[in-house]
């Protein structure tokens, strides 16, 4: 009891401190506050973010694949070709176009979006931390705006006058953007990259760097010195003939300005060169790395496997998503693309610098209808991510572009639909979360591509603390008839297989499916149904192995992805993260959660309801704000605190 009493004093202090800092606003739409509402209403015209196109799957191969066999040594010392250890942040982070911050993260420092926090919580719980970059094409014309905007938002758009591909209007941002990022980092282990504008470098505009360093401190990882400089000529930001040497000299000039800027205490955390096209590959042998390595945090590139610039802007040639789909469902699509970066990843290791894919997704200029939000695309991103990790990229950032792109990992409903729709979590959010689980938090995970005989069945082995811990297995084949369901045999020479292994599956009905995606039985829901929490019961399959024959038979249906945990003692029970952020309307202690509360069970066995009760300590603010704000219902942050301290606080809740 003494402990509990002390705890409750401590909790009160923490609660008050946190409460004073941040308030998280609930976003559950009015129409869905009734438990009888089961799905979001479809919007009238379909924006690319909710595109309804469904592609035709490629046919199964002529010769069915039914069996695969992998044999890997238990000890890492005996395994060939392992990657560098993946440590620190989650392998995949996110890259958020500056113009869409207020559609994806929050409105301002005191109005964060709970679905965003819940999604990040699901990555952080698995990997320890996550990187987010605020930047992209819009960073090039971003300008600091003194004071705050009347609508409470941290950014506003201004016409840049540019009609170039992917170049959205200039973005004005306020000091509150940095406070918002800082407040997010105080809730969850989120680390930031910010982009510096390079449209006009006759004067370097370093407000982003100055406020970023001052307000974010160590939570700011680095500043990106220009985005895709290799496209500056094509985008008419620089004259014809401008090239690698000119970029290097601009960077050098900027560093001179930085050195004499006393509002920037940190002088050596930049990322560059962030090039996107192979025709600038000369940069790697130009002395660039040696010249700048002491000022850099990481080397960066940006690359999409293809582009949809024709459909979005009439630029280039038409790319037919249907014709492209089979390529995405092959291992070769990733290995061909990433093979180009093996020299760079070696150069980065020699320079002791991280090597980050700073921006990527299924296609530049918005991705592809039908393809980008499909389960097949998610399988590809998983393979592409694991292949990047094998190729010694240290991290990769998946891009979010807003309502007009097809590939968002998540997005809020269009503004005129917030009253009746919840959020959309795209198929592309699952791979970052799954890979966070593949590499875990040990900071020792190394991965090797097993070079499976078929292009449809990539496979990887993962070693942690120098022993074999996991297999990651893909079946890209779409075959409802089941003729390509595969029996994967796994054996471990000498050491032998364990009695049993645990398997988590990433599933959907077909590669073209855009609904019904599940990871270990849980889902974020379909378009307009998500609040960022995984719903449904966690389903981890136990597969018994044959120790005498030294083999485990893993069923791999067509299509599917399986993560096999070789050590059955390893914690596989991570499902929905324990730290959650209330998204439910909450008035007078009555929980009006939309989904069946049993479906939002927490992984520690407690439902959300107990936690929510704690919210009543700030009842006053709930009611006051709920009344004045209509849809936006305030949830005090003590809900979060309760989640952070897990069972303890829940117990305290029961005591009251
Ligand atoms: C955030 O936006 C809300 C309106 O949604 C406003 O009431 C509040 O003052 C804003 N906060 C800041 C710090 O601008
Ligand atoms: C970009 O830079 C050019 C000068 O190089 C300038 O004329 C133009 O106004 C700038 N665009 C924006 C949106 O700041
Ligand atoms: C969080 O936001 C509030 C409101 O803008 C602000 O008072 C507070 O300083 C912020 N916290 C941090 C750590 O920036
Ligand atoms: C990744 O780096 C490790 C360690 O330097 C090296 O042994 C391995 O060959 C590299 N992998 C690839 C695919 O280049
Ligand atoms: C939302 O706004 C768009 C564009 O202004 C409009 O086409 C659409 O009909 C609106 N939707 C609703 C449900 O009002
Ligand atoms: C759990 O997943 C396995 C493999 O997909 C499946 O066969 C089984 O039916 C699932 N169990 C439940 C309760 O959904």
DSSP string, 408-441: -SEEPPPGGGTTT--BEE-GGGHHHHHHHHHHTT
7 and 136 in a single domain? The answer is: no
Q: In this structure, are residues 471 and 543 in contact, taking their beta carbons and an 8 Å threshold?
A: no
Residue 471 lies in a domain: no
Residues 265 and 367 in one domain: yes
On whether residue 585 sits in a domain, the answer given is: no
Q: Does the pLDDT of residue 43 top 80, yes or no? A: no
User: Could you tell me the residue range of the domain that residue 10 belongs to?
Assistant: 2-23+604-651
Q: How much of the chain, in percent, has pLDDT values that exceed 90?
A: 75
Among 442, 467, 488, the domain boundary falls at 442
Nearest alpha carbon, ligand 5 atom 5: 416
CA of 593 to the centre of ligand 6 (A): 27
Q: Per-residue DSSP letters for 465-493?
A: TTEEEEEEEEE----TT-TT-EEEEEE-T
Is ligand 2 within 6 A of the CB of residue 199?
yes
- Determine which residue's CA is closest to atom 4 belonging to ligand 2: 200
H helices of 229-271, in order, are: 244-259
More confident residue, 142 or 641: 142
150 lies in the same domain as 7: no
What is the mean predicted confidence (pLDDT) over 74-91?
Answer: 97
How far is it, in rounded angstroms, from Cα 2 to Cα 549? Answer: 56
Report the pLDDT averaged over residues 526-533.
Answer: 94
b/e code 553-575 from CB counts within 10 Å (16+ = b): ebebebbbbbbbbbeeeeebebb
Residue count of the chain:
656
Q: How far is CA 428 from the centre of its chain?
A: 8
- Are residues 634 and 640 in contact, defined by beta-carbon separation less than 8 angstroms? no
- Is 205 domain-assigned? yes
Cα 140 to averaged position of ligand 2 atoms, centre (Å): 9
Mutate to test the pocket of ligand 2, among 141, 199, 207, 235 (most ligand atoms within 8 A of CB): 199
Instruction: Give the relative orientation of helices 647-655 and 2-21 as an angle to the nearest 10 degrees.
Output: 100
Compute, in angstroms, the gap from residue 150 CA to the centroid of ligand 1. 9
Phi/psi of residue 95, nearest 5 degrees: -120, 120
Shared domain check, 293 and 155? yes
Residue 72: closest CA among 610, 390, 587, 489: 489
Residue 272 placed within a domain: yes
The pLDDT assigned to 203 comes to 94
Ligand 5: list residues with CB < 6 Å.
43-45, 414, 416-417
Confidence tier at 580 by pLDDT (50, 70, 90): confident
Instruction: Tell me if 521 CB under 6 Å of ligand 6.
Output: yes
Asked whether 21 lines ligand 3 (CB < 6 A), one says: yes
* Percent share of the chain, pLDDT over 70: 80
- The closest ligand to the CA of 561 turns out to be 6
Mean pLDDT of the chain: 84
Q: Give tens-digit pLDDT for 435-485.
A: 999 999 999 999 999 999 999 999 999 999 999 999 999 999 999 999 999
Q: Residue 561 domain-assigned?
A: no
Residues 17 and 105 reside in one and the same domain: no
Asked, for residue 414, whether it belongs to a domain, the answer is yes
Separation between Cα atoms, residue 477 and residue 42, nearest integer Å: 31
How close are the terminal C-alpha atoms of the chain, in Å? 13
Joined tokens for residue 101: 């911050």
Work out the pLDDT band at 41, boundaries 50, 70, 90: low
Gyration radius of the chain over CA positions: 24
587 CB within 6 A, ligand 6: no
Tell me what the mean pLDDT of segment 43-59 comes to: 87
pLDDT, one tens digit per residue, over 605-634 is 222 333 322 222 222 222 222 222 222 222
- CB of 160 sitting under 6 A from ligand 2: yes
Distance (Å, rounded) from C-alpha 121 to C-alpha 123? 5
- Alpha-carbon span 36 to 364, nearest angstrom: 40
Residue 40 lies in a domain: no
Q: What is the mean pLDDT of residues 561-580?
A: 86
SS3 string, 164-227, reads CCCCCCEEEECCHHHHHHHHHHHHCCEEEEEEECCCCCCCCCCHHHHHHHHHHHHHEEEEEECC
- For residue 581 and ligand 6, the question of a CB distance below 6 A is answered with no
**Do 17 and 120 belong together in one domain?**
no
pLDDT bucket at 6, cuts 50 / 70 / 90: very low
For 118-165, the DSSP string reads HHHHHHHHHHS-EEEEEESGGGGG-EE-SS--TTS-SEEEE-----ST
pLDDT tens-place string over residues 331-373 = 999 999 999 999 999 999 999 999 999 999 999 999 999 999 9
Question: Which atom from ligand 2 is nearest to the alpha carbon of 161?
Answer: 13
User: β-strands 270-275, 296-302: how paired?
Assistant: parallel
Same structural domain for residues 153 and 234?
Answer: yes
Task: Report the CATH number at residue 390.
Answer: 3.20.20.80
Residue 629 alpha carbon, nearest atom of ligand 1:
5
Return the exposure string of 578-588: e unless at least 16 CB atoms fall within 10 Å of the residue's CB, then b. bbbbbbbbbee
Mean pLDDT of the 539-561 span: 97
Same-domain pairing of 265 and 123 = yes
Lowest mean pLDDT among 158-172, 211-225, 499-513: 158-172
For residue 45, the model assigns a pLDDT of 58
Is residue 126 included in any domain, yes or no?
A: yes
Q: What is the pLDDT of residue 315?
A: 87
Least confident piece of the model among 112-116, 260-264, 650-654 = 650-654
Residues 8-26 have a mean pLDDT of 37
- Which two structure tokens, joined as six digits, stand for 264? 């920037």
Query: Which residue, of 388, 418, 442, is where some domain finishes?
Result: 442
Q: What pLDDT shows up at residue 654?
A: 22
d(CA 549, CA 531): 46
pTM of the predicted structure, to 2 decimals:
0.86
Q: Using CA positions, which residue lies closest to atom 8 of ligand 1? A: 152
Does residue 519 come out as left (phi exceeding 0), alpha (psi in the -120 to 50 range) or beta?
beta
Last residue of a domain, one of 386, 407, 442: 442
Q: What is the pLDDT of residue 583?
A: 54
Same domain, 10 and 159: no
* Shared-domain flag, residues 131 and 277: yes
The finding on whether 539 has its CB within 6 A of some atom of ligand 6 is: yes
- Assess whether 261 and 153 both reside in one domain: yes
Structure tokens at 352: 């002791």
DSSP string, 269-321: -EEEEEE-SGGGGGGGGTTHHHHHGGGEEEEEEE--SSB-HHHHHS-S----H
SS3 assignment, position 619: helix
What is the total count of domains within the chain? 2
- If one compares 55 and 170, the residue with the highest pLDDT of the two is 55
Select the more confidently predicted residue: 170 or 452.
452
Mean pLDDT over 83-102 rounds to 96
Tell whether 130 and 240 lie within a shared domain: yes
Which atom of ligand 1 is least distant from the CA of 179?
13
Q: What gap in Å lies between CA 333 and CA 327, rounded to an integer?
A: 6
């Amino acid at each position: 009891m003494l402990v509990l009493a002390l705890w409750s004093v401590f909790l009160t202090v923490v609660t008050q401190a946190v409460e004073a800092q941040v308030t998280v606003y609930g976003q559950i739409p009015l129409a869905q506050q009734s438990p009888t509402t089961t799905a979001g209403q479809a919007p009238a015209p379909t924006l690319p973010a909710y595109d309804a196109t469904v592609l035709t799957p490629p046919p199964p191969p002529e010769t069915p694949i039914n069996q695969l066999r992998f044999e890997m040594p238990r000890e890492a010392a005996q395994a060939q070709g392992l990657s560098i250890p993946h440590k620190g942040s989650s392998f995949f982070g996110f890259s958020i176009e500056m113009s869409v911050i207020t559609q994806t993260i929050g409105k301002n420092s005191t109005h964060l979006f709970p679905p965003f926090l819940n999604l990040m919580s699901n990555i952080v719980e698995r990997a320890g931390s996550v990187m987010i970059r605020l930047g992209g094409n819009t960073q090039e014309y971003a300008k600091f705006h003194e004071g705050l905007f009347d609508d409470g938002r941290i950014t506003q758009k201004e016409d840049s006058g540019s009609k170039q591909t992917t170049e959205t209007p200039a973005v004005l941002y306020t000091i509150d953007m940095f406070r918002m990022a800082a407040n997010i980092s105080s809730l969850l282990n989120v680390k930031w990259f910010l982009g510096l504008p390079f449209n006009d470098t006759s004067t370097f505009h370093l407000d982003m760097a100055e406020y970023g360093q001052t307000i974010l401190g160590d939570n700011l990882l680095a500043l990106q010195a220009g985005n895709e400089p290799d496209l500056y000529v094509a985008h008419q930001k620089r004259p014809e003939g401008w090239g690698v040497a000119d970029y290097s000299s601009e960077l050098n000039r900027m560093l001179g300005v930085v050195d004499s800027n006393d509002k920037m205490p940190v002088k050596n955390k930049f990322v560059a060169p962030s090039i996107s096209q192979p025709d600038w590959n000369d940069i790697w042998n130009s002395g660039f790395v040696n010249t700048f390595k002491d000022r850099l945090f990481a080397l960066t590139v940006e690359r999409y496997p293809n582009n949809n610039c024709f459909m979005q802007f009439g630029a280039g040639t038409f790319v037919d998503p249907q014709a492209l789909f089979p390529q995405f469902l092959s291992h070769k699509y990733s290995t061909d693309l990433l093979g180009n970066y093996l020299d760079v990843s070696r150069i980065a290791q020699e320079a002791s610098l991280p090597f980050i894919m700073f921006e990527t997704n299924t296609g530049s200029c918005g991705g592809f209808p039908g393809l980008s939000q499909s389960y097949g695309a998610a399988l590809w991103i998983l393979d592409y991510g694991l292949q990047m990790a094998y190729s010694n990229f240290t991290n990769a950032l998946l891009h979010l572009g807003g309502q007009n792109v097809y590939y968002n990992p998540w997005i809020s409903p269009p503004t005129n639909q917030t009253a009746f729709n919840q959020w959309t979590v795209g198929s592309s959010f699952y791979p970052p979360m799954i890979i966070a689980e593949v590499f875990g938090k040990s900071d020792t995970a190394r991965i090797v591509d097993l070079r499976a005989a078929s292009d449809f069945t990539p496979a990887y082995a993962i070693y942690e603390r120098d022993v074999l811990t996991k297999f990651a297995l893909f079946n890209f084949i779409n075959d409802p008839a089941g003729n390509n369901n595969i029996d994967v045999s796994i054996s471990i020479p000498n050491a032998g297989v364990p009695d049993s292994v645990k398997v988590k599956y990433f599933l959907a009905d077909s590669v073209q499916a855009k609904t019904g995606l599940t990871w270990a039985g849980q889902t974020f829901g379909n378009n307009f149904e998500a609040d960022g929490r995984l719903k449904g019961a966690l389903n981890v399959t136990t597969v018994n192995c044959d120790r005498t024959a030294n083999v485990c038979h893993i069923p791999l249906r067509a299509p599917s992805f399986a993560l096999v945990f070789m050590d059955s003692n390893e914690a596989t029970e991570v499902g929905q993260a324990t730290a959650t952020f209330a998204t439910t309307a909450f008035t007078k202690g009555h929980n009006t959660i939309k989904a069946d509360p049993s479906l939002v069970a927490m992984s520690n066995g407690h439902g959300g309801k107990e936690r929510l009760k704690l919210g009543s300590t700030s009842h006053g603010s709930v009611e006051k704000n709920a009344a004045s704000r209509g849809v936006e219902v305030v949830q005090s942050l003590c809900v979060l605190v309760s989640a952070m301290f897990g069972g303890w606080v829940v117990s305290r809740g029961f005591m009251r």
